[in-house]
Structure 1
Amino acid sequence: MLLSTALGPFIGLAASAVKAQASTPQVLAAVAFVTQGETAQRADDDSVYLTPRGAQQMFRQGTAFRNRYLSNGTSNGTEAAPIYGLSIDVINNMQLNLLAASTEWHASGATAFMQGLYPPKGFSFGDSGRGVAATNYPLNGYQYAEISTIGPQDSEFSAVEGTQGCQAWHDEMNRNLTRSADIVGKVSETQPFYSNLTASGPLLGQESLVDATYLYAVEVFQTVKYLFDNNQTVHDGLANANDTLTTLENNAFSLELAKTRYNNTDKTDPRNILYGIAGRTLASQVTGSFVDFMLDKEKGPKLTVIFGSWRPMMSFFSAADLFNPQNPSAPWTQLPKPGSAMVFELVGDSGSGATARGSQVRFYYRPSADSDDEFTSYPLFGSPTGSNMSHDAFSSRMNEISKNSSDWCSICKPRGQTSYCQQFTTIRVNNAVGDNCSTHLSTPVVGIIGALIMCAVLAFVVFAFAMTRRHRSNRTSGEPRLAAGGGGGFRGADKKTGDADVVVSKTGRQEARVGSWELGNSRKEIFDGQPGAGIVTSDFAHRTRRMDDDSISIAETPVQPREGF
């Protein structure tokens, strides 16, 4: 009795410590967007590929993710924030959701990233108890990650590259943005700089810089930067290299910002939505990934990584109000570096009864793949509470800006290259229908629902058509045929016996005789059974669809620099 009384305070203290330890917030899941590494064009066929430098950039970023999310540190650390329950050394593809644009350099970059996240591991597979020798993967345990490559025909493509295939966005860039007073003024102001850039020195005669102008500021910057980093002649001979590269980058950033941010305080302005479409579809993918995880925390994806270009990232910065006077020198006030990453972390109690309502979301940005860069947290949507937002507040604000695949189809009006948009002509799921409608449905779920409804509608139409044909057949079987002679038909009483207006040919088709038996004209035409229907002969010519001529577009995927000289 005395012993229990004496130990009572210590037991209570220990219980409190255990309870506090159990309730320590953990990173439950994370969603990341990683930009591509350095790319170049092959000299022989102009195809774009991931350079060795670009692969190293992606590998370093993957290693940085491993140090943060697969470490043994605490979730409150500056660099260490292990994801609860995520396999540390061996890839468990059930815990990962990896999406990459189907282009070669994005898919290759995703592979390099995963090499850093899960490096080769010397573990063995096999059941020696059954006489099967244990074995290992090649290259000393190289691990194979399941990476989903997303192309324009996939409904998730809008979340990876929201402006590609968005015809309305491209039309806006070519017809309106390039003719605006700001852009016209910039072109005139910067033309002497671009002319001098290629008038002499190591860039003289560079074919990819012939049309150097502000309208191609991004392409020009990428070309000169690549040449400066990889060509000794350009590196040594470029005059005022640092100032020149800084000016080129600033011009590229200002042009890209103009393409992804429409300066209008009215959040509902259609152009605000159109300019930021790439970031808005990305936002929908982020919230959908968290919903997928919360629906099944045991089997849901703990880490989602999306690999794409930096345009969706800049577009999201605009949509999330990160470009504001509070962040005049933030790292996103310049073009994202190759391999840069932004991450959304879902933080909460790791217990089985934890819910989204008690969780928080943190936003981090790592502006490059350089080893000395860190994951830095920033507040979203001008949040006064700092970088941490309650999950409810985060979802509410993200849903305000999000656009799913159905919305993308309505806004972008693509020209036939995104066949999945056709399913949304039957079912339209948009953000206006309740708080828990389309914005809480992941893109694959919306696509499946649309496909099922389309199948049901088609089945009903086929069934109705079959029943109608059957009804007509039953009705006419008990009636005298007009083709059997006697009155009726299109000659009435003048028709001779056996001179059928409509006869059944040997092939079983109904055919109408054209002309009269008196004139001996036995030519036949197919009769479609519908009053007033026209006769279609074999001479009917199909119209061909006119194809639009190709034109130069400043909004297309940037021209990549050549590798050879």
Structure 2
Amino acid sequence: MFTQVSRVLLGLAAAAVGANAEDVLGVFIFHRHGDRTARTRQPVKLSALGANQAHSSGTFYRDRYIVSGADFQVRGLSPEIADLSQLSVTSPAEPIIQSSAQAFLQGLYPPTYTSDFLGDCTEVEAPLNGYQYVPVGAVKNAATSKDGCPSAETSSQSYFSSPQYLGMLSQTSEFYDRLAPVVGTSMSKDEVNFRNAYSVFDLINAARIHNSSVPFEDRLTDDNMDRLFRYASIQQWNLAFNESDPARAIAGSVLGGQIVDSLGAIVDGERDAPLMSIQFGAHDTFMSFFGLSNLTKASRDFYGICNCASSMAFELVTNATGPSKPENVGVRFLFSNGTASQNELTAFPLFGQEQTLLPWSDFKRKMTEFSINDDQAWCELCGNTDGRCAALLALGNNSDDKNDPENDPKNKSSNGITKTIAGVIGSVVTLAVTAAIESLLMLCGGYRLVNKSRLTRLSSSDTSLG
């Protein structure tokens, strides 16, 4: 829980900003999945509680950004019937996260009764009371994990040989030994230690939520539960972020690039730029981004693992009337630790600054310092040299030829990306669109997309299910 002092001070700042006549031009939301069963017990399932958390969060954001007359209604966003050209919803192909996205969207755009008259005057009613089919793009490059990024995986694994880790492993051994009986047969006694701090916390926490009784429950005092959470947070933070090693926070860097690209398209007035972009993921991406954006200066609570159904929103706003110019646009960051319907969505200052509303130019500049928004930058940071990365890196190595037309500024777009790179990125976008269509088929046709290897893999450093 964030400190009361921080909430009061930042709440006053947000209220001062809100006092002006302000229009919301667009929003980017990153959302954690809802409550689920423990990762150590396969298959992992989204619980009824988790589905309700995601759904109520969707309803909250509908009331904030979509319904007619809302204080923060996004300018031009369809208030009743989902306009798919205005929305971009993505998620990795993980059943828990995809299911959370679907539950969220049911709250964001609930069923609306519709019917059609056929040529023979027969009236046909839409199923499920007019259920609105908003596709969720199942994309591999969503900011969810370090999969496929060797440098990031190596960086995280190096934490397990660091003096900090070895010290925590030794200092906490007796504590975990005392709690080993609580875990029972779900984990061996040798696995109940700081190396698996998140898995231990996750298992015990899930048991307390869903079971009427837990073995050796008398050992789960408030102090011990606090310590379990604190140790899990320390372990996960160090696996997700390291100030001296950018590769470790690859998930946050990719997310940062997606945020800038999404909001930038609106600022630049790009045709059919989505007004609302929503991405779903796991808690480690939150941690990576918190570290990169220095949110821990605003509150030390950002070091902790965020609750299920937590969300952060980036509001693109202006006080100008009529068409907005970049110099009249600002960005506000807000965060809810848990489902937003029950936990206040609060504005916090990014990048260690004081103000919660940043000019677009400042926001973009600070985000660009750590963001990754093209394949070549990703390949270079991750150290990938095969497949698509091989072609991109070869292209980069040929930049010494000054007569290469690709190096001519005239052949570059406004953001400095060459037309060749733009073509590669265009291919990636095409794949994402294809994935969105596949998601629609899953919704309408009952198809399922399951990555079995990721469902069965469990290690202390794997937080793909958050």
Fold shared by both chains (TM-score > 0.5): yes
What runs of 5+ residues in structure 2 fail to find an aligned partner?
Answer: 1-19, 400-408, 431-455
Q: Which has the higher contact order (CA 8 A, sep 6+)?
A: 2
- Whether 1:396 and 2:385 are equivalent positions in the alignment is no
State the TM-score, normalizing by the size of structure 1: 0.66
1:163 to 146, 157, 181: 146
1:28/1:350 contact within 8 Å kept: no
Pairing of 1:371-450 with structure 2 (within 5 A): 371-384=341-354, 386-404=355-373, 405-414=375-384, 419-428=387-396, 436-437=414-415, 446-448=424-426
Partner AA of 2:330 in structure 1: Q
Residue by residue over 1:330-381, the C-alpha shift from the partner in whole angstroms, topping out at 9 and shown as x without a partner, is 4x23211111000101102575532222111111101101633111001111
1:122 to 96, 113, 135: 113
Q: Using a 3 Å threshold, how does the CA distance of structure 1 residues 228 and 349 change in structure 2: closer, same or farther?
A: same
What is the distance in 2 between the residues matched to 1:415 and 1:197? 45
* Larger-gyration structure (1/2): 1
Divergent runs of 4+, >6 A: 449-452
2:34 to 27, 37, 40: 37
What secondary structure does 1:32 align onto? strand
Partner AA of 1:179 in structure 2: S
- Whether 1:138 and 2:135 are equivalent positions in the alignment is no
- Whether 1:327 and 2:327 are equivalent positions in the alignment is no
2:67/2:80 contact within 8 Å kept: no
Match of 2:86 in 1: 95
- Whether 1:107 and 2:98 are equivalent positions in the alignment is yes
What secondary structure does 2:296 align onto? coil
State the TM-score, normalizing by the size of structure 2: 0.79
- Whether 1:368 and 2:350 are equivalent positions in the alignment is no
Give the drift of 1:449.
7.2
What is the distance in 1 between the residues matched to 2:418 and 2:67? 31
Which structure has greater helix proportion? 2
Q: Using a 3 Å threshold, how does the CA distance of structure 1 residues 435 and 196 change in structure 2: closer, same or farther?
A: farther
1:168/1:412 contact within 8 Å kept: yes
Match of 1:70 in 2: 66
Match of 1:342 in 2: 312
2:379/2:393 contact within 8 Å kept: no
What is the distance in 2 between the residues matched to 1:262 and 1:216? 19
Partner AA of 2:363 in structure 1: F
What secondary structure does 1:141 align onto? coil
Partner AA of 2:104 in structure 1: F
2:33/2:54 contact within 8 Å kept: yes
- The number of equivalent residue pairs is 408
Residue by residue over 1:416-444, the C-alpha shift from the partner in whole angstroms, topping out at 9 and shown as x without a partner, is 6xx443442344499xx999536899x98
Q: Using a 3 Å threshold, how does the CA distance of structure 1 residues 206 and 56 change in structure 2: closer, same or farther?
A: same
- Whether 1:52 and 2:52 are equivalent positions in the alignment is no
2:151/2:248 contact within 8 Å kept: no
What is the distance in 1 between the residues matched to 2:339 and 2:423? 34
What is the distance in 1 between the residues matched to 2:422 and 2:335? 27
What is the distance in 1 between the residues matched to 2:225 and 2:218? 10
- Whether 1:213 and 2:193 are equivalent positions in the alignment is yes
What is the distance in 2 between the residues matched to 1:72 and 1:449? 37
Partner AA of 1:181 in structure 2: P
1:378/1:387 contact within 8 Å kept: yes
- Whether 1:251 and 2:231 are equivalent positions in the alignment is yes
What is the distance in 2 between the residues matched to 1:284 and 1:445? 18
- Whether 1:313 and 2:283 are equivalent positions in the alignment is no
- Whether 1:228 and 2:208 are equivalent positions in the alignment is yes
Q: Using a 3 Å threshold, how does the CA distance of structure 1 residues 356 and 260 change in structure 2: closer, same or farther?
A: same
Pairing of 1:174-323 with structure 2 (within 5 A): 174=157, 176-199=158-181, 202-207=182-187, 211-234=191-214, 237-264=217-244, 271=245, 273-296=246-269, 299-323=272-296
What is the distance in 2 between the residues matched to 1:559 and 1:99? 15
Q: Using a 3 Å threshold, how does the CA distance of structure 1 residues 64 and 171 change in structure 2: closer, same or farther?
A: same
What runs of 5+ residues in structure 1 fail to find an aligned partner?
Answer: 1-22, 75-79, 152-156, 265-270, 453-549, 561-565
Residue by residue over 1:28-71, the C-alpha shift from the partner in whole angstroms, topping out at 9 and shown as x without a partner, is 1000100111223699x923332222211111211111121123
Give the drift of 1:317.
0.7
What is the distance in 1 between the residues matched to 2:462 and 2:92? 15
What is the distance in 1 between the residues matched to 2:91 and 2:183? 34
Quote the sequence identity (%). 25
What is the distance in 1 between the residues matched to 2:458 and 2:331? 42
Residue by residue over 1:431-475, the C-alpha shift from the partner in whole angstroms, topping out at 9 and shown as x without a partner, is xx999536899x9865237999xxxxxxxxxxxxxxxxxxxxxxx
Q: Using a 3 Å threshold, how does the CA distance of structure 1 residues 194 and 437 change in structure 2: closer, same or farther?
A: same
